[in-house]
Amino acid sequence: MASRDSKVKKAEIFSLCLCPTCPSWVSCREKGGFCLPDVGRSKCIAEEKGCICGACRVTKMFALKHGYYCTRGSEKEQSGK
């Protein structure tokens, strides 16, 4: 079970998330937050039409270096960790 702190952090990340404004976004029942390892890749987004991950406050907060988390996986996954 997730701790209260991780739930708060996840809620904060979703509140800052830019995913729904991305050119690659596909509207379905997903919230975004694909940079988080426990969220995983999008089940709806199949085509990369542009990426705004670098402009996201979450990317800056956690010093993330990759992009296209929706199709390529979380920072951890893309880093091979």
Angle at 54 between CA 7 and CA 81, to 5 degrees: 60
- pLDDT score, position 46: 96
pLDDT digits (tens, 9 = 90+) for 36-76: 888 989 999 999 999 999 999 999 988 999 999 999 999 99
- What does the pLDDT read at residue 11? 86
Confidence at residue 4, expressed as pLDDT on a 0 to 100 scale: 55
Tokens of 43: 């089940």
For residue 21, what is the DSSP state?
G
CB 13 within 8 A of CB 52: no
Single pTM value for the model? 0.85
